[in-house]
Amino acid sequence: MRVAVDAMGGDKAPHEIVKGAVLAAQQFQDSEILLVGDEKVIQQELESCQAIPKNITTHHASQVVSMDDPATYSIRQKTNSSITRSVELVAKGEATAVVSAGHTGAAVAAATLHLRTLKGVRRPGIAAPFPTRSGNCLIIDVGANIACKPIHLFQYGVMSTIFSKYISRVQYPRVGLLNIGEEDAKGNDLAKETFALFSNSQLTFVGNVEGREIFDGKADIVVCEGFVGNVMLKFAEGLATGLLSTIKAEAMKGFWSKLGLFLCKPAFAPLKAKMDFTEYGGAPLLGVNGVCIICHGRSDSKAIYNAIKVALQLSKNKVNDHIVAELEKANVPAASVM
């Protein structure tokens, strides 16, 4: 199995990306890692490693998509970028999966354009793991699709159920629909129509989930439109970081509270671990014909290592085949597919 890794994407590229790829290559010796990007730069990074695993190779791409590039520009003008080249390797069958911590919009656009969607899938969606009180839940979509229709949201529920079953090992993942009230008839037209589709499905649908119920773990999967999911995920990041840093700054002001914070430190550890995105290894873009893992822009070697691990799991478990089979079985009224 070969994983194409975008060596140039992310705030800490190429150093941490290459380091993470080397770690993964050492660990998963029956797989191959293809580092895609400026060969010279990658080679330099590799040479600084203690030993270059044999199952790691490079693939040249002369351009890099910058964070300021609009996604459409990256597709049209930067056809030789590391992200596009990585995706093309999957499209051509030279790799089974792609991992990128670069420009999310560019990665989604490249994957949608070159890999196309799986049979029966209307729109791909990013399923981001999010910590809850008791574990974590998947929020889908967090920004791949900001013009959602009920059928898209319904398919997100199906696809992430398969992901949860085969990757997170949750046998009957509880699917919730993000909404502004718990009652069945709540929300905008999109929410109401999606509610009906879920209600008539074979999924373990737990109904509407309000914002305040996510952290409580009411559902294993929370389905929402990409604009809402993206805003919420980033908001949570800002809020959680902000709250913790405010507490810390306040505690550092006095001797006793400083001592208290020191003694309290172990109490923060489980929370910090839970909030540590590097543990999750990125978010899969579900629905494209190939495996595509989108990593946080701040990904370090550990995050990249874990993303490669998830990419391999998705390939080995044939998650995409299961998605196609499940969507074929899913009972969706023709009128909803418009």
Residue placing its CB nearer to a copy of itself in the complex, 191 or 323: 191
In the complex, minimum distance from the CB of residue 90 to a copy of itself, in angstroms, rounded to a whole number: 26
Residue placing its CB nearer to a copy of itself in the complex, 132 or 289: 132
Residue placing its CB nearer to a copy of itself in the complex, 157 or 226: 226
Residues 241 and 230: their CA atoms lie apart, in Å, by: 17
In the complex, minimum distance from the CB of residue 118 to a copy of itself, in angstroms, rounded to a whole number: 25
In the complex, minimum distance from the CB of residue 133 to a copy of itself, in angstroms, rounded to a whole number: 6
In the complex, minimum distance from the CB of residue 17 to a copy of itself, in angstroms, rounded to a whole number: 23
In the complex, minimum distance from the CB of residue 154 to a copy of itself, in angstroms, rounded to a whole number: 18
Pairing of β 125-131 and β 283-286: antiparallel
Residues 78 and 63: their CA atoms lie apart, in Å, by: 6
Which pair of structure tokens corresponds to residue 225?
Answer: 């439109």
In the complex, minimum distance from the CB of residue 294 to a copy of itself, in angstroms, rounded to a whole number: 14
Which pair of structure tokens corresponds to residue 2?
Answer: 């070969």
Q: Which residues pair with 130 in a beta bridge?
A: 137
Residues 217 and 220: their CA atoms lie apart, in Å, by: 7
Q: Under DSSP, is residue 135 helix (H, G, I), strand (E, B) or coil?
A: coil
End-to-end CA distance of the chain: give it in Å, rounded.
37
Which pair of structure tokens corresponds to residue 78?
Answer: 């930067």
Contact residues for a copy of itself, defined by CB under 8 A: 68, 70, 105, 132-133, 143, 146-147, 178-181, 183, 185, 187-188, 191, 210-216, 224, 226-228, 230-244, 246-248, 250-251, 253-254, 256-257, 259-271
In the complex, minimum distance from the CB of residue 83 to a copy of itself, in angstroms, rounded to a whole number: 17
Residue placing its CB nearer to a copy of itself in the complex, 267 or 334: 267
Residue placing its CB nearer to a copy of itself in the complex, 2 or 103: 103
Residue placing its CB nearer to a copy of itself in the complex, 44 or 246: 246
Residue placing its CB nearer to a copy of itself in the complex, 29 or 245: 245
Look-up: residue for tokens 């409580």?
216
Residues 36 and 99: their CA atoms lie apart, in Å, by: 10
**Which amino acid is present at 264?**
C
Of 44, 86, 46, 45, whose CA–CA distance to 65 is shortest?
86
Residue placing its CB nearer to a copy of itself in the complex, 32 or 220: 220
Residue 293 near residue 282 (C-beta atoms within 8 A): yes
Look-up: residue for tokens 């009411």?
218
In the complex, minimum distance from the CB of residue 238 to a copy of itself, in angstroms, rounded to a whole number: 3
Q: What is the DSSP string of 46-72?
A: HHTSS---TTEEEEE--B---TTS-HH
Residues 38 and 59: their CA atoms lie apart, in Å, by: 8
